[in-house]
Amino acid sequence: MYWNTSEDSDVPLLAKTMPRNSFEQILRCLHVNDNQKILTDNKDKAYKLRPMTNSLNQNFGVCHRSTKKLSVAERCYKLWCLGDENGYILKFELYQGKNEILEAESEEYNLGERVVLSLAKQY
């Protein structure tokens, strides 16, 4: 989509920054999890990204001392983010649809409440 030349969907800045072929080559070669080690009963739809997201979330808290006022927001790719009042993202979770494990742990809460409790747990 970023390299599309139609008037309503192109993103010239991104298209000029990296050629489509270069992006596709990186995408083919970039792996952050071992496909051979995936469990047959794995319910984590973001399994292939999990090492990277865990590392980012761990380092967000180390690199920045947050303010006391926090907010949870949903971003464009169903990404739930915990941010402080300055807009610094402290932690994020990829929304993967229904999460049976999280729902079983906290049946009394709705989705929004579970997300807030999960993201803000360490704060």
How confident is the model over 33-44, as pLDDT tens digits? 888 888 888 888
Tokens linked to 112: 């929004």
| Domain limits, the chain | 1-30, 32-120
* pLDDT band at residue 1 using 50, 70 and 90 as cut-offs: low
Instruction: Evaluate if residue 92 carries a pLDDT over 80.
Output: yes
Q: What is the pLDDT of residue 8?
A: 67
Q: What's the rounded mean pLDDT across residues 73-99?
A: 81
Which is nearest to 115 in space by CA: 67, 90, 83, 82?
A: 82
pLDDT over threshold 60, residue 68: yes
What pairing do the DSSP bridges indicate for beta strands 79-84 and 70-75? antiparallel
Average pLDDT over residues 102-111: 75
**Residues sharing a CB contact under 8 Å with residue 104, sequence separation 6 or more, in sequence order:** none
The pLDDT of residue 102: 62
pLDDT for residue 64: 79
Burial 68-102 (b: 16+ CB within 10 A, else e): eebebeeeeeeebbbbbeeeebbbbbeeeeebeeb
Output 99 or 70, whichever has higher pLDDT: 70
For residue 3, name the pLDDT band (cuts at 50, 70, 90).
low
